[in-house]
Amino acid sequence: MEPLLREVLIFALALVMVVVAVALAADQIQTLPGCNSTFGNIQIPYPFGVGMQLIYTTSTTLFLGAQISSWFCNDSDYNNPWITTAAFSISRNENKFLTVGCDSYGLLNSNYENRTYSTGCLTKCYGNNVEIDNGTCSGIGCCQVDIPPRIRRIISLEAATFSNSTRDCSYSFLAKHNSYNFSTSHLQSFPYETLPLVLDWTVGERNCSSLESSRRIATAIVTLFVATTSLYLIYQKRKLSKLREKYFKQNGGSILLQQLSTRENSSQMTQIFTEEQLKKATNNFNESLIIGSGGFGTVFKGFLENNKIVAIKKSKIVDESQKEQFINEVIVLSQINHRNVVKLLGCCLEREVPLLVYEFVENGTVFDFLHTQKKVDSETWKIRLRIAAEAAGALSYLHSAASIPIIHRDVRNANILLDNSYTAKVSDFGVSRLVPLDQTEIATMVQGTFGYLDPEYMRTSQLTEKSDVYSFGVVLVELLTGEKAHSFCRPEEKRSLSNHFLSCLKEDHVFDVLQAGMVNKENEKEIIEVAILAARCLRLNGEERPSICNKANGDAPMDQ
């Protein structure tokens, strides 16, 4: 669902960005592709360029310059140019039509929509030219007129004098407003061949009003799309919020909040994380951050906003019948404060399968430790013995010292973590079960890891703390031998490590199965005692197995 929301949001933002980019580009582009932006010292703005032509009768190419119409009365020579503007129109607001001369008139003609439209002005001179004011175009020596609405395209210019005029010349032209400054000297010799001219432009044959209308269909469409997208996103956000609320209640969030509200020690308070917080912490559960996986879930390395590193477990299964028990387990585990048990920091309940957040232990597992060691000696045994004692102490705490006894149910070397000083921390309580104080065993569906499972539990489905003792016995054998609990690569009689170990111990060949290089005269007796203890933990009858509680509280050699 959330990826869909992101895609819709990205699409909406992309559309808005395109619209904005087009608008900005219209302001930034200076010329059309392939066209120069200047002609001589004249700047030619977009959409014009040197490739855009204004043509008059002599086929001369003009670039934003208006041709002058002239009449020379002495030799009756005249020049009446015409200009085609194609899709461009003469700007009414920016241009004027002017005539310069004495006793002269000028005409401006245009063909628009198959009809001819004309305008013009006339100028008179009275007496000597010195009486004519320079710089003014008021009708004496120079006249000017605004451009009427219908004067737009296919322009022709005419300049003429009255039939009885004795004056020499007259000139008519279109020019940008205020670009021409009249002088009496222009009556004798006009100094310009072209003058600046401003054109309006539109897309195709449409005028500015139609373009404005188009801009308003376009704006409406974008507005409608953005509004629709926003409503859709709001709807999906509310739908997602309701779904998260549903999962929160289903996963016992209300019960957890109620339980936490009665807690006196706020320093031990379990934090309730949102899904977004944990997604951000794991880069949306990126595979590169996976630090462990198994049959019941995947563990990710996460980075919280306060830069704290955590381990986030994402379970694979949902057991509807265990929802309330899961919350009780979270509450109990959040109260555990034992140096050899991985601390539960919080959980996320607003998804179908809850997420658990643990402290991060950086040095891998006992499994990694056993199978990556290159050098094995007597010092190796000291570390392994300490790991065994610390793991036993953690299990003892879970079985007896916690407010409600906890059976781990999946004790194995991959679930015992090590920090930088090789301190052991029991982890992964995904299949653990709480034991009511008035019961010594509970009936459950058999779960665990092959090679570590208690045979009695497999046969009866009755789970007791002695099931953890059996699994711990397998871990002891692994620490003694450096071998895996079960391997199809070994001969059939040796595939089960615990059975092979017990057989060797029974035949007084235990040294044949111990890892080479680890035993010396100083630790030989100690290793034999641990081997015998492992054998007691592996007894088929659970009642004959020792209690981890007793061994962790003083019996040699587990307290060393």
Active-site entry in 27, 168, 200, 410:
410
DSSP 8-state secondary structure symbol assigned to residue 456: H
CB atoms within 10 A of CB 345: 20
β-pairing verdict for 155-161 and 88-90? unpaired
What tokens appear for 129 in the block? 């030219």
Residue 110 near residue 155 (C-beta atoms within 8 A): yes
CB atoms within 10 A of CB 20: 10
Q: In the sheet where 95-101 sits, what is the strand order?
A: 77-79, 69-72, 169-176, 95-101, 142-145
Q: Concatenated DSSP letters for 365-414?
A: BHHHHHHH----SHHHHHHHHHHHHHHHHHHHIIIIISSS-EE-S---GG
DSSP 8-state secondary structure symbol assigned to residue 496: B
Question: Which candidate, 482, 471, 472, 470, places its Cα nearest to that of 384?
Answer: 482
**H or E element at residue 311:** strand 309-315
Question: Which candidate, 507, 501, 496, places its Cα nearest to that of 531?
Answer: 501
The answer to whether 410 is a known catalytic residue is yes
CB atoms within 10 A of CB 453: 20
CA distances 71 to 161, 168, 215, Å, are: 8, 8, 46
Question: Which candidate, 463, 466, 485, places its Cα nearest to that of 475?
Answer: 485
Question: Which candidate, 123, 137, 136, places its Cα nearest to that of 165?
Answer: 123
Q: Is 242 annotated as a binding residue?
A: no
Question: Which candidate, 400, 362, 366, 446, places its Cα nearest to that of 548?
Answer: 400
Q: Tokens 């909040």, residue? A: 257
Q: Tokens 């009449």, residue? A: 71
Phi and psi (nearest 5°) for 374? -95, -35
Q: Concatenated DSSP letters for 164-228?
A: T----EEEEEEEETTS----GGGGT----SEEE--EEE-STT--HHHHHHHHHHHHHHHHHHHHH
Enzyme catalytic residues:
410
Which parts are annotated binding residues?
314
Which parts are annotated binding residues for ATP?
314
